[in-house]
Structure 1
Amino acid sequence: MSTNLQPQQPQQPQQPQNPLRRLARSAVPEGCVPWNGESARRWTRALPPGWVPVRTRPRYVLLATAVAALAGFCLVTFAGVRPFFAALIPLQVVWVFLRPEVVRVSAPALVVVMLWQPFSWALIVPAVLLLVATWMAVELRLAARRRQRKAALSAAGGVTAALPDTGRPVPRGRFLLGLGVVLLALGMLLMSTASLWGLAVEQQGNRMTGLLSVGLGLTALLSGWLGRHRAAVLRTGPVPVFRVLMRDDAIGDSEVCAADDLEGVRPLFTVSVQESDDEDDEEDEEDEDHDGEGGGDEDELVGDDELDRLLDDPAPGPLREAVLYGLPYDGAEVVLVSAPPEEPDEPDEQPDERPVVEWSVGPVRPLSEGAVRRRAAGEKRAVARKAADAERWDAAVAAGAARLETGAVRRWRAGPLDWLTCLALVLWGAQAVLSESGAWRYGWAAVLGVIGVLAVPGAVAWRVTADRSGLWVSGLLGARHIAWDHLMTVQYKGTELKLDSRRARFTPWSTHGPRWPWLQRRFGLVHPYEKVVAEITAMRDDPVLRPVEESGERERGRPLWPVGVLFSVVLVVALVLVP
């Protein structure tokens, strides 16, 4: 046994697993200091207690608001509570999570008003206790904001700089302002027409809905104005600056870390940002548009780069150096000037040194220690699920290849799962339509009828046929064709089974069905759509498994428009016969 001895190399300093994207020195303001770990820890210690709702997932906010709205309806219907007070219950929930500034005023005002109203003590006592608890949580959150600002100002060391690209229009708050106007108008309409239809109890419920819509509209207007005001204040003069690290997370927000957190282990906060539109980018886009004029083909193929981009799963981006403009705190507006996230195409090529300027389009949301642990645990679970799904997918593809009969035309079609799902949705729509009366009944029938005519045929009678030339997918007017060489997307993601072609003029085909991944992983079940995708994928990847015969017109499936006509006839008959 021989051993080759190599001279011992000097130990190199530990490097991060993912190399940083370096920011050009010219983009760093003079005297700008790094926001290091010690300063970051002082900032995180200023956060409120973990039970204070600083950041809550949107679905939890929607769920809590829906439950509060349902409670308000019950109080109006069974307890005789006025619509104004009932509408304030879900509004208070929204304000606690999203607009704590309002709770500072609304909670004490509601306590005073309730004490002067003829409510029973069984209702007043728990309501007052809940309002006091929410007021205390909000005060702790607002006090934490002041501490965060003070800690960030100390970390900046008195260094300030003017913002780049200050001549750009302020986009912040436009969507919320528009949404607020729409909700406000809708609420006023509901309140003014509440007495024109329905029983007395229903009229009270309609008034509550109108008041709730008005409150949500005013909340959206306030949120839009606050975001726009804070973004405008940020432009008024030099602001504190910090050197930090940042990356784009899996859902498109930006995570900001301390400058010495080279692995991004402890993100400090997240913020939604939008890249600044500079003139060079607009000129490049115009050049691309001019290059494409006259030389395009409406049936051109989508390139491989776009295919990779469409098929890749979203993942956090690389860490890159950045300069943070503005004081970060819960609800703040900031600007990030960072290194480009893309790597050079060639190893010897110099990276693009033009910094990326990004303005916040949402408030800063700090990450507590508990939130960081939950995110890390969620990432580990996601990795484990992805590995299990990949293993199950490989097994499904192998089983699909084994099921294929070489030479025979292969067909897949809607089954009991599709029929039951469609039946449940149709019954829900029928209940929503037939429970109304007057103009509302026929208005609902028109809206849901159009949706049903377009969606029901494809849901209950879809068909995919594979033959020698490719795939034939069903449609209202007839089957459409995807050649094997043009097959771009074959996926079942979420509840959607989707097929798409590389040809630009081909409209993607899809159908939907319920799915319970946890149940499939628990009992090793395979969804019918997964079998479809597995077999088509096997044929796409291995030409030997493709059919050698051509399909006939009857095998490809007939146009589905007769099903839509039948659905519309049944709808009209139901409207006529059901009183």
Structure 2
Amino acid sequence: MSETPVPIPSGSVPAGTPAWSSADAARWTEAGPASWTRPVWSVPTLLITVIWAIAVEPVPRCSDAAPCGPDWSSMVQVGLAVGLLHWLARLPELTLVAAPALAAMVAWGELPGADPMSRAANLAVIAALLFGWAAARERLAARSRQQRLAGQAAGVRHRLPEPVGPLTRGGLPLAAGLVLGAVAAGAVVSGLNGIRAYEHHAARAKHIAAKVTGRGEETVRVRTDDGRPLTVGALYPEDYSLGSTVTVLEDDSWRRLAAEPYDAFGPQLLVLAAGLPALSLLTVGVLARRRAGALRRAPVPVLRALTLTDHEGRNWVYAADDTAGRTPLFTCRCSVPLPDSDKKANRTGHDDDGGNEEELPFVETRLHEAVVFGAPYDSGELVLVTTDRAGHPITLHSGGPVRIPRTGRKPLLGSPATTDTGSDSPRPR
């Protein structure tokens, strides 16, 4: 990339817009999150400690004195632990809430009365949660630092250039999250209805003492005191030894072991399967919509920089004086906004169908001058004004969050199969 960057017409550059120098960009990069906050440390730490805690936790046996039943607290703990494996990597905002909540539930629900090995494992889980919370807090603090430094480097603020286009960011995640949230809510209602139905039968049922005579895969065969043989469903038939006495609840044709009330495992599993993605999608949608809306509400910092589009469709941004493209600052996927609100645009910046496609300039691995609207930071939103292959000004909106590339990562520039040097026409994305 030793060629001179494609210039941007002066009329597309707001008055007083400064160049983002390599020195200012280096300070911006140094203000990023520390290496210890990377998910590669916090996610495996939590995963290992949770597996350890589950492996050493004693499994109580079902009995009339201590019947098994739906455990909503454990379901919430499992859900938060599974969710945090994703939120630690992508949603530090949720981590700040979920990690302390799970740590408190483990401290109050698992530590009292635990044996030494289980206590050590649960303390390790709490330590991993605190480490993940600290990492998430540092990542959010780094975003604030980068926003501040970018604003100081800019010094001036301007409103977004036309066409701004409709505010569509976050719409699809919000819609999907609401649908999945409704499914999760329905699963909760189903589980509660099952519990109420069991309590209704149990209140009317006769309590019959019986002796265990045999066990199946999911049943227990018993003989009552009056000599009747019965087969009763059991989730844990191995808990009942042959010859032991159990209590059978009988309400007409309805029978159940008193040691095993209604188990809402199915509805609880559906709650986790739908509720966790729903919570993640709703958070992503709200954050994306809020960040995209913030660009439109007031003037934002503007900086001159350099950009190129690689063969993966990503825009890479460099300091204005880094004409060799040695040090990429951040990357994002961008799309051209459609000014007419009646034109259908996908909520995430992709096409709905082949008839109404958003278009991007064809992949151009040459550096172009650009103007960055908005203070960039990891997971932020921004607008780029740059040029196409013919040198005409275009406005690009981030179709996804800004990402800071790992050290040493470079744009993919060596895919000749996707390069068309003989055409200046735009390519549909």
CA contact (8 A) 2:305 2:372 kept: yes
Aligned-pair CA distance for 1:66: 10
Which deviations, in whole Å up to 9, do the C-alpha atoms of 1:445-491 show, x marking residues without a partner?
xxxxxxxxxxxxxxxxxxxxxxxxxxxxxxxxxxxxxxxxxxxxxxx
Q: SS at the partner of 1:338?
A: strand
Alignment of 1:348-367 (within 5 A): 351-353=390-392, 355-367=393-405
Aligned-pair CA distance for 1:189: 3.6
Separation in structure 2 between the aligned mates of residue 190 and residue 77 of structure 1, nearest angstrom: 28
Tell me which of 371, 376, 381 is aligned to 1:333. Answer: 381
Tell me which of 156, 179, 182 is aligned to 1:159. Answer: 156
Q: SS at the partner of 1:328?
A: coil
Which deviations, in whole Å up to 9, do the C-alpha atoms of 1:264-295 show, x marking residues without a partner?
2211011122211246xx8xxxxxxxxxxxxx
- TM-score, structure 2 as length reference: 0.64
CA contact (8 A) 1:76 1:205 kept: no
Alignment of 1:27-106 (within 5 A): 27-53=12-38, 82-106=74-98
2:253 is the counterpart of 1:255? no
Distance change >3 Å, CA 75–CA 256, structure 1 → 2: farther
Alignment of 1:406-555 (within 5 A): none
Q: Which has the higher contact order (CA 8 A, sep 6+)?
A: 2
Distance change >3 Å, CA 69–CA 107, structure 1 → 2: closer
Which deviations, in whole Å up to 9, do the C-alpha atoms of 1:298-343 show, x marking residues without a partner?
xxxxxxxxxxxxxxxx976322111000111122111111111x2x
Separation in structure 1 between the aligned mates of residue 371 and residue 339 of structure 2, nearest angstrom: 18
Aligned-pair CA distance for 1:259: 0.7
CA contact (8 A) 2:47 2:85 kept: no
Quote the residue 2:182 is aligned against.
Answer: 185
Which deviations, in whole Å up to 9, do the C-alpha atoms of 1:219-239 show, x marking residues without a partner?
211211111111111111211
2:167 is the counterpart of 1:175? no
Q: SS at the partner of 1:170?
A: coil
Tell me which of 303, 315, 325 is aligned to 1:264. Answer: 325
CA contact (8 A) 2:166 2:338 kept: no
Q: SS at the partner of 1:365?
A: coil
Separation in structure 2 between the aligned mates of residue 278 and residue 111 of structure 1, nearest angstrom: 48
User: What percent of counterpart residues are identical?
Assistant: 31
Distance change >3 Å, CA 260–CA 277, structure 1 → 2: same
Distance change >3 Å, CA 254–CA 65, structure 1 → 2: farther
Quote the residue 2:142 is aligned against.
Answer: 144
Separation in structure 1 between the aligned mates of residue 299 and residue 150 of structure 2, nearest angstrom: 15
Quote the residue 1:225 is aligned against.
Answer: 286
Query: Partner letter of residue 159 of structure 1?
Result: V
Distance change >3 Å, CA 72–CA 191, structure 1 → 2: farther
Aligned-pair CA distance for 1:20: 2.2
CA contact (8 A) 1:40 1:258 kept: yes
Aligned-pair CA distance for 1:206: 4.6
CA contact (8 A) 1:324 1:335 kept: yes
- TM-score, structure 1 as length reference: 0.48
Separation in structure 2 between the aligned mates of residue 76 and residue 185 of structure 1, nearest angstrom: 33
Separation in structure 2 between the aligned mates of residue 26 and residue 125 of structure 1, nearest angstrom: 61
CA contact (8 A) 2:17 2:304 kept: yes
Q: SS at the partner of 1:240?
A: strand
Which deviations, in whole Å up to 9, do the C-alpha atoms of 1:328-382 show, x marking residues without a partner?
1122111111111x2xxxxxxxx453x1111122221123xxx131x24x96xx9
CA contact (8 A) 1:46 1:148 kept: yes
Which deviations, in whole Å up to 9, do the C-alpha atoms of 1:373-406 show, x marking residues without a partner?
1x24x96xx96xx99xx9xxxxxxxxxxxxxxxx
Quote the residue 2:223 is aligned against.
Answer: none
Quote the residue 2:108 is aligned against.
Answer: 116
Separation in structure 1 between the aligned mates of residue 402 and residue 170 of structure 2, nearest angstrom: 14
Aligned-pair CA distance for 1:243: 0.4
Quote the residue 1:129 is aligned against.
Answer: 127
Separation in structure 1 between the aligned mates of residue 121 and residue 270 of structure 2, nearest angstrom: 22
Q: SS at the partner of 2:371?
A: strand
Higher helix share: 1
2:369 is the counterpart of 1:321? yes
Separation in structure 2 between the aligned mates of residue 47 and residue 99 of structure 1, nearest angstrom: 16
CA contact (8 A) 1:248 1:316 kept: yes
Which deviations, in whole Å up to 9, do the C-alpha atoms of 1:197-253 show, x marking residues without a partner?
x97588426514413421320221121111111111111121110001111123212
Separation in structure 1 between the aligned mates of residue 400 and residue 76 of structure 2, nearest angstrom: 30
Separation in structure 2 between the aligned mates of residue 18 and residue 259 of structure 1, nearest angstrom: 14
Separation in structure 2 between the aligned mates of residue 251 and residue 132 of structure 1, nearest angstrom: 37
Q: SS at the partner of 1:235?
A: helix
Distance change >3 Å, CA 126–CA 45, structure 1 → 2: same
Separation in structure 1 between the aligned mates of residue 49 and residue 368 of structure 2, nearest angstrom: 43
Separation in structure 2 between the aligned mates of residue 65 and residue 122 of structure 1, nearest angstrom: 14
Distance change >3 Å, CA 67–CA 362, structure 1 → 2: farther
CA contact (8 A) 2:166 2:339 kept: no
Separation in structure 1 between the aligned mates of residue 136 and residue 82 of structure 2, nearest angstrom: 16
Quote the residue 1:24 is aligned against.
Answer: 9
Separation in structure 2 between the aligned mates of residue 51 and residue 18 of structure 1, nearest angstrom: 38
Higher strand share: 2
Which deviations, in whole Å up to 9, do the C-alpha atoms of 1:164-190 show, x marking residues without a partner?
126521011011112212221232344
Separation in structure 1 between the aligned mates of residue 56 and residue 385 of structure 2, nearest angstrom: 51
Quote the residue 1:234 is aligned against.
Answer: 295
Query: Partner letter of residue 182 of structure 1?
Result: V
CA contact (8 A) 2:49 2:125 kept: no
Which deviations, in whole Å up to 9, do the C-alpha atoms of 1:120-178 show, x marking residues without a partner?
3144211101101101111111111121112111211x211111126521011011112
Query: Partner letter of residue 372 of structure 1?
Result: T
Separation in structure 1 between the aligned mates of residue 293 and residue 57 of structure 2, nearest angstrom: 42
Query: Partner letter of residue 276 of structure 1?
Result: P
Q: SS at the partner of 1:51?
A: helix
Aligned-pair CA distance for 1:78: 6.0
CA contact (8 A) 2:379 2:401 kept: yes
Aligned-pair CA distance for 1:260: 1.1
Separation in structure 2 between the aligned mates of residue 319 and residue 77 of structure 1, nearest angstrom: 61
Separation in structure 2 between the aligned mates of residue 251 and residue 179 of structure 1, nearest angstrom: 26
CA contact (8 A) 2:8 2:386 kept: yes
Separation in structure 2 between the aligned mates of residue 41 and residue 77 of structure 1, nearest angstrom: 53
